[in-house]
């Protein structure tokens, strides 16, 4: 084995530069998969780890009216309860600008998880209390607003605004609100207000649409608490959700986004695989003499195959390593950027596994797409080469096609396992298979058409046309390789562009331009 490795390495040093296309194709594909997978894993694990915080509690009971006292007593007996009251209304500035806002009044237990941070750093009760936080004691209730919203309306702490029948004083910006990221009400920007201030505004009318959200922090499991709740209050019409439900929704949304982006990575790797095939094919065509010579000096066929497989492994291993490392650092950078928008903590180690998976994908792709080319080169009869016959016919032996098939199955299996959204994965693999079949059909049509055209006297009389047709239908022409590579690349490029555009469009339509602290 050592001798084979030495031979492979020495031969590669002397002539491996021509495999740069293989390296570039693999590195790019692996980078994209590692970066996308690493970012997805970091963000999703961060979000899911903080899902209690992001949900505002272990469970939430939603009602359109205040809960009856017995229910409240029961809930208080099971843990800590925090009430968040929400109401949409219009807010007007002194300059005459009006904006739809979501008023939120919270109690002293808020937030159950995480921290609420205001700027200036004052207690919420001080900010929203009546006539406090203002040395003049103007008797106004205070509010805290989102800083983006404040910027848009050109209001700062100290300014007055109109809500309902009252004027309120803006006393702080909300710089961190733990349950904001996942509960963004796109109907209005958040404004925190005291419960009494809300009452005083005159907006709490029988016809008002008010959301009462009772959040619970309990030591019981969410399922047990829900069972007990519905057993205690079987006729209730209240909606009860747990942080696990939120997690599932987060996971589903994230998996769709991640799947869309990972498909771009896999598409790149697939196109890269075609590049690998063409690159290895061209490389080994130049090695036919060497292969024949190695056979002549007594190297067995399986050892000869090992030499070239080792070369592919060396080149692809290095390329995939570079790609995985690049992807890792891109994932870290992306996670750091995301953390400034979504208040989650990301773990560096979460990006390691996706990079390893991307590396394995790269190696598998390199080997799978190399097998046919290696098999073809090794099938060359050395006698024909030594007789200096040009255009020696080669065919990939069945054993190498079987190895290729195994590689394809492994890749497909891994794609199905790795892509978060199973439907995406199935659709992607089905689309690629269908694309290849379609392109193969087009190749055969072109060949047949070119052959028929070439048989016409009118075409034969024109040398250039005759030559062009002949080069399309002749055995061994580059038509199949060119059309499959170009066709796949262009099709997947268009598909990925559509995927990205759709994702961006969906996000843009879901999140208003001036959306404050984001996102899902």
Partner 1 sequence: MITLREVQMNYPLEQGEVQVLQEVNLTIQPGESAAVVGPSGSGKTTLLLLLAGLDQPTTGSIEIEGTRISSLSADEMADLRRDRIGIIFQSFHLIPSLSAIGNVTLPLEIAGDPDALDKAREMLNRVGLNHRMEHYPNQLSGGEQQRVAIARALVHQPPLILADEPTGNLDKNTGASVSDLLFDLHDNLGTTLVMVTHDPQMAMRCDRQLHLDEGKLIEKMHEQADARSV
Which residues of the chain form contacts with partner 1 (CB under 8 A)?
3, 6-7, 10-15, 289-290, 292-303, 381-383, 386-388
Q: Work out how close the CB of 303 gets to partner 1 at its nearest, in angstroms, rounded to a whole number.
A: 8
C-beta closer to partner 1: residue 391 or 457: 391
C-beta closer to partner 1: residue 286 or 449: 286
Give the alpha-carbon dihedral of 13, 15, 21, 24, to 10 degrees. Answer: 10
What phi and psi values does residue 225 have, to the nearest 5 degrees?
Answer: -65, -45
Between helix 352-378 and helix 243-285 the angle, nearest 10°, is 30
C-beta closer to partner 1: residue 139 or 289: 289
Q: Do the Cβ atoms of 367 and 316 come closer than 8 Å? A: yes
Q: Are strands 210-218 and 79-93 parallel, antiparallel or unpaired?
A: antiparallel
Q: Work out how close the CB of 384 gets to partner 1 at its nearest, in angstroms, rounded to a whole number.
A: 9
Count CB neighbours of 226 within 10 A.
17
Q: Work out how close the CB of 396 gets to partner 1 at its nearest, in angstroms, rounded to a whole number.
A: 17
Q: Work out how close the CB of 518 gets to partner 1 at its nearest, in angstroms, rounded to a whole number.
A: 56
C-beta closer to partner 1: residue 289 or 512: 289
For residue 206, give both structure tokens.
């029988």
C-beta closer to partner 1: residue 68 or 289: 289
C-beta closer to partner 1: residue 298 or 457: 298
Q: How far apart are CA 160 and CA 94, in angstroms?
A: 7
For residue 86, give both structure tokens.
């929400």
C-beta closer to partner 1: residue 456 or 474: 474
C-beta closer to partner 1: residue 62 or 474: 474
C-beta closer to partner 1: residue 254 or 305: 305
Residue 210 DSSP SS3: strand
Who contacts 45 (Cβ-Cβ below 8 Å, separation ≥6)?
346, 347, 350
Q: Work out how close the CB of 8 gets to partner 1 at its nearest, in angstroms, rounded to a whole number.
A: 10
Q: For tokens 């937030």, name the residue.
A: 111
Q: Work out how close the CB of 297 gets to partner 1 at its nearest, in angstroms, rounded to a whole number.
A: 5
Q: Are strands 79-93 and 239-242 parallel, antiparallel or unpaired?
A: unpaired
Q: Do the Cβ atoms of 17 and 312 come closer than 8 Å? A: no
Q: Work out how close the CB of 283 gets to partner 1 at its nearest, in angstroms, rounded to a whole number.
A: 12
> What letter would DSSP give residue 17?
G
| DSSP secondary structure of 31-73 | HHHHHHHHHHHHHHHHHHHTHHHHHTSSEEEEESSPPPHHHHH
Q: Work out how close the CB of 296 gets to partner 1 at its nearest, in angstroms, rounded to a whole number.
A: 5
Q: Is 284 left (phi over 0), alpha (psi -120 to 50) or beta?
A: alpha
């Amino acid at each position: 084995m050592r001798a084979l490795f030495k031979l492979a390495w020495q031969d590669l040093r002397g002539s491996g530069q021509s495999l740069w296309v293989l390296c570039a194709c693999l590195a790019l594909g692996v980078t994209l998969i590692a970066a996308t997978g690493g970012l997805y894993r970091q963000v999703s694990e961060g979000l899911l780890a903080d899902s209690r915080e992001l949900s505002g509690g272990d469970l939430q009971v939603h009602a359109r009216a205040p809960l009856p006292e017995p229910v409240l007593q029961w809930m208080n007996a099971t843990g800590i309860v925090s009430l968040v009251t929400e109401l949409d209304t219009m807010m007007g500035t002194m300059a005459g600008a009006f904006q739809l806002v979501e008023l939120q009044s919270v109690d002293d237990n808020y937030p159950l998880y995480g921290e609420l941070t205001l700027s200036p750093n004052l207690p919420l009760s001080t900010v929203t209390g009546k006539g406090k936080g203002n040395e003049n004691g103007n008797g106004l209730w205070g509010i805290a607003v989102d800083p983006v919203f404040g910027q848009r309306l050109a209001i700062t702490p100290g300014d007055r605004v109109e809500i309902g029948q009252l004027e309120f004083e803006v006393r702080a910006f909300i710089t961190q609100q733990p349950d904001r990221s996942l509960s963004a009400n796109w109907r209005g920007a958040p404004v925190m207000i005291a419960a009494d201030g809300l009452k005083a505004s005159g907006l709490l009318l029988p016809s008002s649409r008010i959301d009462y959200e009772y959040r619970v922090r309990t030591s019981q499991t969410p399922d047990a608490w829900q069972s007990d709740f519905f057993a205690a209050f079987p006729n209730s019409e209240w909606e009860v959700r747990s942080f696990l439900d939120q997690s599932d929704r987060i996971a589903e949304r994230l998996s769709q986004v991640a799947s869309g982006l990972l498909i771009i990575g896999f598409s790149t790797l697939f196109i890269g695989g075609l590049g690998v095939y063409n690159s290895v094919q061209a490389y080994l065509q130049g090695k036919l003499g060497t292969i024949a010579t190695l056979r002549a000096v007594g190297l067995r066929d399986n050892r000869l195959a090992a030499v070239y497989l080792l070369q592919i492994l060396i080149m692809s291993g290095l390329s995939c390593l570079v790609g995985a490392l690049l992807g890792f650092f891109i994932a870290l950078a992306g996670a750091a950027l995301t953390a400034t928008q979504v208040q989650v903590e990301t773990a560096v180690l979460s990006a390691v596994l996706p990079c390893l998976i991307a590396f394995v994908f790269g190696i598998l792709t390199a080997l799978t797409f190399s097998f046919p080319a290696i098999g073809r080169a090794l099938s060359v009869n050395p006698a024909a080469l030594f007789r200096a016959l040009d255009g020696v016919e080669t065919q990939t032996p069945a054993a190498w096609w079987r190895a290729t098939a195994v590689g394809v199955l492994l890749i497909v299996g891994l794609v199905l396992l790795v892509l978060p959204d199973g439907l995406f994965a199935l659709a992607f693999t089905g689309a690629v298979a269908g694309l290849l079949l379609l392109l193969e059909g087009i190749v055969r049509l072109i060949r047949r058409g070119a052959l028929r055209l070439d048989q016409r006297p009118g075409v034969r009389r024109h040398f250039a046309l005759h030559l062009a047709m002949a080069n399309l239908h002749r055995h061994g022409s580059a038509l199949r390789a060119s059309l499959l590579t170009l066709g796949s690349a262009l099709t997947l490029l268009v598909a990925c562009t559509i995927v990205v555009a759709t994702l961006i469009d969906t996000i843009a339509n879901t999140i208003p331009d001036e959306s404050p602290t984001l996102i899902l």
